[in-house]
Amino acid sequence: MNRGEIVGKRSFGKNLAQERKLYSELYKEFVNQLKIKGRAEQTLISYHYHNKYFMDFLGEDVYCDSITLSTLEDYISYIQDKKKIENGTTINSYLRNVSPVIKYGIRKGCILKDFAIPEVTVQETFKEIYTKDELKVKSVDLLNRTIVLNSTKNKKARIVPISSSFLEVIEEYLNMRNGNSDDYLFCSVYNTMLAMSSLQKSVKIFCNERAIDKTSLHLFRHTFITNAVNKNVSPLILQRITGHSTMKELSRYYNAKTTDIFIVERIGKDGVCIHTGYSIYLAKAIEEHIFLC
């Protein structure tokens, strides 16, 4: 072959037009990978809606190689100006659900330049992702005073104890519910799965009627953990109940108050301070991976 002679169409090379991929194609490929890995349906739904918002922002199905850091920065401005969303946590949730697709495209070479996903600086918060599979009537064991959770966020079953005060409530409810063992424990008036939005609305009304303005399902989890720590519940037991994989994750749910500043009672032989406040006990245990006696 002589220099400069055209012998046919190229089949290899990084910058060929036929190798360019549309964002919609990249997203579809990304979702297929998640399905193969068995990701929760709620996770897939979240990706679906947030990537739909991102494509609405793009205005058209663009090629992946045109997506840069500036694209994500413009998306933040779009969320703030067009959607009128100023809450940093909410904005970051939009970005976090687009970020895995972008990073996947970078690894695949569809997005040519690697870059860090921008974030709006806010106070760190943590939210639980709830599973679609809800509790069944048979999940409640009144004899042993436990509730078995077979479907959880981390896909690990766990057993939650029923307190004495809750025992009376759940017994009365089950008598009123009068459902079969395979029926949903908490259902709609049609005996179908209770929608999360309905539960959220009911909780909001319940709290507002009692002069509680800040409401959410997840706040109950924070409140329970905070109260349990203040009542000297063992961190090991508390971790088993909540299902947190590490003490660090558990500590994020404890909401300390100014009144939780305590007086040092004595110094242990190993030089570790022993405090009357159990929150300090928990914090030290997390920090040094030990439990004080």
- Angstrom CA distances, 189 to 32, 97, 133, 193, 194, stand at 36, 34, 18, 10, 9
Q: Report the pLDDT value the prediction gives residue 219, as an integer from 0 to 100.
A: 83
Q: Report the pLDDT value the prediction gives residue 103, as an integer from 0 to 100.
A: 93
Bridge partners for 187 per DSSP: 193
- Return contacts of 102-109, CB within 8 angstroms, 24+ apart: 102/67, 102/72, 104/26, 104/29, 104/30, 104/33, 105/21, 105/23, 105/26, 105/30, 105/64, 105/67, 108/21, 108/26, 108/29, 109/14
Tokens, residue 97: 């659900």
Q: Report the pLDDT value the prediction gives residue 271, as an integer from 0 to 100.
A: 44
User: What does the pLDDT profile of the chain (293 residues) look like in tens digits?
Assistant: 455 454 454 444 444 444 789 999 999 999 999 999 888 888 888 899 999 999 999 887 889 999 999 999 999 999 988 888 888 888 888 998 999 999 999 999 999 889 988 888 765 444 444 444 568 888 888 888 888 887 666 667 778 888 888 888 899 988 988 888 889 888 888 888 888 888 888 888 988 898 888 887 778 888 888 888 888 888 888 888 887 878 887 887 777 654 554 433 444 444 444 444 444 444 444 444 433 33
3-class state of residue 63 by DSSP:
strand
Tokens, residue 90: 């909410």
In whole angstroms, what is the distance from residue 62 CA to residue 47 CA?
A: 18
Output phi, psi for 6, to 5 deg: -90, 120
- Return contacts of 32-36, CB within 8 angstroms, 24+ apart: 33/104
Q: Report the pLDDT value the prediction gives residue 98, as an integer from 0 to 100.
A: 93
Q: Report the pLDDT value the prediction gives residue 285, as an integer from 0 to 100.
A: 47
Tokens, residue 291: 């439990």
Rounding to the nearest 10 degrees, give the CA dihedral for residues 264, 269, 270, 272.
Answer: -10
Q: Pick from 124, 115, 133, 137: which is nearest to 184 by CA?
A: 137
Helix axes 235-242, 278-288, angle to 10 degrees: 80
264 with 253: CB under 8 angstroms? no
Tokens, residue 241: 């109940």
pTM equals 0.43
Q: Pick from 2, 99, 14: which is nearest to 50 by CA?
A: 99
CATH class of 17-108: mainly alpha
Q: Name the DSSP class of 130.
A: P
- Angstrom CA distances, 151 to 70, 81, 156, 158, stand at 40, 39, 7, 9
Domain residue limits, the chain = 17-108, 127-194, 213-293
